[in-house]
Structure formats: C-alpha cells, structure tokens
Structure 1
Amino acid sequence: MTQNNPTFDAWLADVERFVRDEATPRENEVENMNEVPPDLVARMRELGYFGWSIPREFDGAGLTTEQLVRGAMMLSQASVAFRARVGTNTGIGSEALVADGTPDQKRRYLPRLASGELTGAFALTEPNAGSDATALATSARRDGDHYVLNGSKCFITNAPIADVFTVLARTDPSKPGAAGISAFIVERSMPGLSTSAPYDKMGQSGSPVGDVILRDCRVPAANLIGGVEGEGFRTAMKVLNKQRIHLAALCTGPAMRMLEEAVAYTMTREQFGKPIAEFQLIQALIAESQTDIFAARSMILTAARKRDAGEDVTMEASMCKMFASEMCGRVADRAVQMLGGLGYLSGNAVERFYRDVRAFRIYEGTTQIHQLNIAKITLKRAASQLEKRAGSEAACAA
C-alpha cells in the first residue's frame, strides 16, 4: 500500500520540488520554443521519470497504479508538455509490452523506454477509426519472417519525436471488428515508416502530435506483441484501462494548479476597497472548484487501488476519465473568470492551461464515448442480475 510509505513520500516530495523549482519557472520558455528544452529532458531522464510504471526488473520505478496517479497529479501541475514528454513512456507507449509482451520483447525495449533512451508512442487512431477503434483499416500481412504493414495513423502524441511505436493493425481481414486486430512494436528505423511534421494546435505547446504513415513497412515477426495474432485489441483495452485512470490524474493536476493561481490572485486583487476573495460570489467559484478537485482525486485513488488489487476497473476507468476531464474544464473556466481580464491575456499559467486542457475531453475516448461505455456496462450488469434473480426464483418454485 502507498499509505504510510516513507520512501514513496520522499520520492513524491522530490517530484514536487522538481515541479516547483525546475519545471514551472521555465513554462514560458517551453511555450515559446514549442518543445521541452533538451536539458530538462535530460534532467527527467536522470530522475527516472520515463520509467515510472515500468517494472523494476526492467530498470523502471515499478510504481503501483496508486503511486503512478499520485505522481501524475504532482507532475501535471507544471506545463502539460512536461508530463506529455515522459507520459507515453510511462503510460501508453510501454504498457502494451508490460501487459502482454513476450519476455524477449520486454528485455529488448522496456529498459530503454524506462531510461528515456527511447521515446514511445501508441498508434491506434486512424482517420476513420477513432471512437470506433475496431474499424481500423491498417493492415499487416505475413511475409516470411516479417509482417508488411500498410496504413496511416493520426493524432498520435509524440509521433514526430518517437523512436518506437505500438501499432495496431489488422492481420486477418476476414474477421471484422476486434477479432482480427494485432499489436506490433515498430521502430522508426524500420523501412516504410514515416511521420508527419507536428500539427499546429490550439494548446499544449511543446507536446508534438502528428501522423504515422506505414507504406510497405517491414516489421520482424518477433515484434508481434505477445507472439499471437488477433490479441491486439484486448491488449489495447488493457493499455487504455490503466491509461484512463492515469489521464484522469493528469487532468486533476492542472486543476489544482489553476485553482492555486486563481486563489492567490483573488487574495491580492482589490476592488471596492477589499480583496475580491472576500466577495461571496468569488468564494462560490473557489468552493465549487475545490469540491470538484476533491471528488476527482477521490475517484481516481479508489479506482487505482481497485486495479492494484486485481479487480476489473473498466467502468471505473471510464468514469474517472470522463469526470476528471470535464471537471478540469470547469475549473479552467472558473479560474479565468476569477482572474478577469488578466485571465484572457497570454503569458499567464491560467490562460495557457485553459487552452491546454480542452483536449482532455477528446482523447483517450471522448466524454460521449465514455458515457456510452458506462451505460453499457451498467445495463449489462443489471441484465445479469435480473437473469440470476429469475434463475433463483425458478429454482425456488421447482
């Protein structure tokens, strides 16, 4: 358990110091350069941030889900670019290997992902396969001891700078939906893989996102994750269940930071002869934001502990991601309102986060997809309970 763990508490305090003393002072530099400066990337490698959830046997930190989300809430209080730079390695960029990789695949890639030598990316989304991920058209045809991949992926975080990609492709076109999908580890150096230039985006400067293009890309058969065809979608769902809890934490950190910035401002900004923090309508915005953050944090920690206990958290992961991403948007809007005109001007953390956090409600499943997912699971469980009840009543009647 994470509670009453002095070693973890000391580690988390070190993350807090990094955020306060090294990352936050350079946020405007990241925004203006549109990248995390190389010396800060090297610093995060030195601190082991790329390997937070990679097992210790592969040179990672081996954090539990609960520890991971607590670290994520802290790191994400700095510019979104910092957590995005390490987040694919310690999340979706490595989790497929952690969950389902063969021993050889884990040995070859996980230590290099944990050290930050390699940057990982997760390539699932396509122009016509986003919310309906089972509609993906990227193909993988077996050719001797290789697979030949053809297709394109879009909206892939870190694609322009990644060294290794988890690519979902259809190995059996005769099987529709999830059944014919497999997962591969594809290195940038493999013939036939290319990436686009980074997109111009509304926010999240310093976090490059782009396309992955596969044109007769030859991938060794040894890079089929798990060594078995047709298991790729199950692997992806394992990745996303954990990642959605992780992302919920990454939505909560910015909300904490924005509220902190807004509260500090309201305590010094005076109108009508007193700080605006003394006005009840400002206090209502503060109270609503604080309550939202507490609710999200509580949900996330509960879901993380359930996952660490080996329980199925498919619905909890969806609820956490949906609630935390929507919560962060509400807090961002209130924080801008508390800052007034200043909140609309560029160059301050609240304005930057306001733009950055809008994407949270879109990726890793839109809010609407999570609403459907939560309802479907609820109805399925209710139907199962009704069936059991009917069976029990029939047995009693007999």
Structure 2
Amino acid sequence: MYELSADETAIVALVRDWVDHEVKPVVRDLEHTDTYPEALIEQMKQMGIYGLAIPEPWNDAAVSAPCYAAVTEELARGWMSLAGAMGGHSVVAKLLLNYGTQEQKDTYLPKMATGEIRATMALTEPGGGSDLQAMRTVARKQGDEYVINGSKTWITNARRSQLIALLCLTDPAAEPAHRGISVLLIEKGPGFEVSRDLPKLGYKGVESCELSFDDLRVPRSALLGTQEGQGFAQMMRGLEIGRIQVASRALGVGAAALEDAVRYSQERESFGQPIWKHQSISNYLADMATQLTAARQLVQYAARRYDSGERADLEAGMAKLFASETAMKIALDAMRIHGGYGYSTEFDVERYFRDAPLMILGEGTNEIQRNVIARELVKRNRISS
C-alpha cells in the first residue's frame, strides 16, 4: 500500500492498531456529544504523533512526508477530528523548520515535539475566506513591539494551542498586497480573545473558533524569520504539507466508509443473498475501492514531491482536490449501501457523510485548488513568445 521503510511501516501499523482498539470503541459517543477527546490526545502525545514532522536535534522520531500522510490517514480512519487536532500543529512546525530563526526553533520545537506546546495557524478572516491577500488584520510597529488588531475565524484548536502562527499585514500600503504580509508567532495575552466556538455540521470534538486581537502586543522577535513581507510565500509553502494532510484526512474518511460498506454488504441479505452479490451494490463497491486507491497514490505522489524539496503546490493541490471529492462520493455511496441504517446515528456512516465536506472546503476550497493547479500547470509549461 505504501512505499515506506520498515521502521515507518511499523509506525503506521502501531497507529492503525491503536485506532482499532482505542479510538473506534469510543468515537461515536465522543462525536455525538461533541466532547473534546482529552484521553486520546494524551495518548497521541505519548506515541510521538505531535513530533512526526520535527527532526533532530529537537526530536528523534521524525518521519518522511509519505509516512506522515499514512499516519494521518489512519487517524482519520478512526476519527477525522483526531487528524485535525495535529494538522495545523505540523504546518507550524514546518514553518519554523524552514523559516524560523535558531532561537525560534530551539524555543518551540522541542516542546512541540512532545505536544507540551500545541500550535495552530490563523489565516482565514470573516470577510476573506480563501482570499488571503484581502486580509485586514494588521500588526503595526511601535518601538520594540508589534501591536496587532483584527480578527480571524475557523481557527482549529485555538483554545488549546499555546502558539499561533498569525498571518497578518505588517505593511498595509505594500503593492502588491502580498509583499506586506508577514507571519508572527504569537502566544496568548492581554488583547487576545477567543470570542466563540463555531457550531459545525461535522468535525466535532475539536474546536473551531473566532479570534479577535485588540492592541495585542508582541515582541519584534515574534516575526517568523528575520525579514518582513515574506509571510505569504512562507505560508504558501506551509500549505503544501497542510493540503497533503487534509488530503490524507479525506483518505481516512473514505477508507472507513469503504470498510463499513464492505462489511455491511456481506452481513445484510436481501432476496435470499448478501447484498454485495447484487450488481448495483457490487458496482458501488468496485468504484469506491478503485477511486480510493487512486486517491491514495496521488497523495503519496504529492508527499514524495514535497520531500524532494521542490515546489509541490501543483501536486498537493491535485491530491487535496481529488481525495476530498473522492471521500465525499464514497461517504454518500456507503450511505446508499446501508440504506436507512446509513441515515441513522446508530451507525458511523452518517458521521463520515458529515465529516467529508470539511476536506472539500478546508485549506483552500476546491474551487481555489483548481485555480492553483491551472496556474502552476501553465507556469511549468510556459510557451516561448
């Protein structure tokens, strides 16, 4: 299934076993009551999952991007929210690794590796959506500090994160606008408020919040790296691993839906035989398995490209687009196979159907992904005039 080393294969197998024995028996109750999975998160910390994207010397258990994607898929196969609880954290780790100063790396990465510090990123604004250059959150220099004013929305894990990578304007007058955007590494303090948790169709258990900043003061050393105006490019690179992670979440939801559909189609009988023997059902199963396998290969391809050090926005965009649309279709088809039971909250299929749309919308909508893919495709194949 994966082209991983023996050690990485063992890590994926460990997570898969944990999901089957620790997550699946409790997930339905946690999800339906929208309960934060404190015990499961602690176990994830102990297994080293929060440090998978962090290498030596700050951590001794980093893995390749293909392994990271495979672990994410297994987590989401148990409960997509668990994968969401470490997604933004890993993006921030990669931002620090690629662009942080030595002091920033030494300050945050060791504690992020153990999960003692949880991190998330704050990009989206109430009126901006996927248009990151339309942001209005501003950080103005005053002496040795930045003073931040503005708001963000749909920020996952905002209440339980100690570190937030904030995308904001440090030069509102810059032309083009992206040249005035920076990333600040902020911690909570006076002027920072988590104003409310947003109600959601799915993606239960972990919080998605609105944030407001009212004269929040942070030191100049909070700037990611040493140069202002680099934040947009930095975050675009960070979103490559973020989109691979979201695509991997979609794989997990699709895999869970397919597993349940295959099992149920053998247990449920109609007209004297298991329903999988009816051509309409067997066609669903064949298409679901084929599409999921194709999506997985595309995600792994994107992960390998990311590890090569080359730009992977085209590959990550394709993986996120295809895997998320595939997960949505598989979730719906699993519901069809279950019939009325697929609509019942006593079966997990309805949860997959509610969770799948997040990956279509999150980390840049699929409409945005198509723009990214087309733009990069032309860029890589530009004709001479």
| TM-score (ref. length: structure 1) | 0.93
Match of 1:291 in 2: 290
1:79-104 deviation line (CA, Å, top 9, x unaligned): 11211222322x22332212211110
Alignment of 1:205-216 (within 5 A): 205-216=204-215
Match of 1:305 in 2: 304
1:250 aligns with 2:249: yes
Letter in 1 for 2:295: A
How far 1:378 moved relative to its partner?
2.2
How far 1:51 moved relative to its partner?
1.2
Match of 1:184 in 2: 184
Decide whether the 8 Å contact of 1:183 with 1:225 is kept in 2.
yes
1:84 aligns with 2:61: no
Match of 1:101 in 2: 100
Whole-angstrom distance in 2 between the partners of 1:63 and 1:4: 10
Match of 1:53 in 2: 53
The runs of at least 4 aligned residues of structure 1 exceeding 3 Å deviation read none
Alignment coverage as a number of residue pairs: 383
Letter in 2 for 1:262: A
Structure 1, unaligned runs of 5 or more: 391-398
How far 1:3 moved relative to its partner?
3.6
* The structure with more radius of gyration: 1
Decide whether the 8 Å contact of 1:60 with 1:111 is kept in 2.
no
Match of 1:394 in 2: none
Change (3 A) 1:249 1:325: same
Secondary structure of the residue aligned to 2:186 is strand
Match of 2:265 in 1: 266
1:114 aligns with 2:113: yes
How far 1:62 moved relative to its partner?
1.6
Decide whether the 8 Å contact of 1:12 with 1:71 is kept in 2.
yes
Secondary structure of the residue aligned to 2:26 is helix
1:16 aligns with 2:12: no
Whole-angstrom distance in 2 between the partners of 1:347 and 1:96: 41
Secondary structure of the residue aligned to 1:92 is helix
Whole-angstrom distance in 1 between the partners of 2:304 and 2:293: 17
Decide whether the 8 Å contact of 2:4 with 2:67 is kept in 1.
no
Match of 1:65 in 2: 65
Secondary structure of the residue aligned to 1:178 is helix
How far 1:60 moved relative to its partner?
5.8
1:72-123 deviation line (CA, Å, top 9, x unaligned): 111210111211222322x223322122111100111111111111221110
Structure 2, unaligned runs of 5 or more: none
Match of 2:167 in 1: 168
Alignment of 1:138-177 (within 5 A): 138-176=137-175, 177=177
Letter in 1 for 2:46: E
Change (3 A) 1:294 1:369: same
1:278-330 deviation line (CA, Å, top 9, x unaligned): 00110110011111101111111111112212222111111111111111100
Letter in 2 for 1:150: N
Decide whether the 8 Å contact of 1:99 with 1:238 is kept in 2.
no
1:376 aligns with 2:375: yes
Decide whether the 8 Å contact of 1:121 with 1:158 is kept in 2.
yes
Match of 1:396 in 2: none
Letter in 1 for 2:274: P
Match of 2:360 in 1: 361
| More deviation, 60-69/172-181 | 60-69
Match of 2:134 in 1: 135
Decide whether the 8 Å contact of 1:36 with 1:81 is kept in 2.
no
Secondary structure of the residue aligned to 1:72 is helix
Match of 1:202 in 2: 201
Identity %: 35
Match of 1:44 in 2: 44
Whole-angstrom distance in 2 between the partners of 1:257 and 1:224: 41
Change (3 A) 1:379 1:87: closer
Secondary structure of the residue aligned to 1:77 is helix
Letter in 1 for 2:111: R
| More deviation, 55-64/327-336 | 55-64
Secondary structure of the residue aligned to 1:16 is helix
Whole-angstrom distance in 2 between the partners of 1:47 and 1:381: 40
| TM-score (ref. length: structure 2) | 0.96
Whole-angstrom distance in 2 between the partners of 1:59 and 1:332: 37
Change (3 A) 1:218 1:38: same
How far 1:133 moved relative to its partner?
0.5
Secondary structure of the residue aligned to 2:216 is strand
Letter in 2 for 1:149: I
Decide whether the 8 Å contact of 2:88 with 2:242 is kept in 1.
no
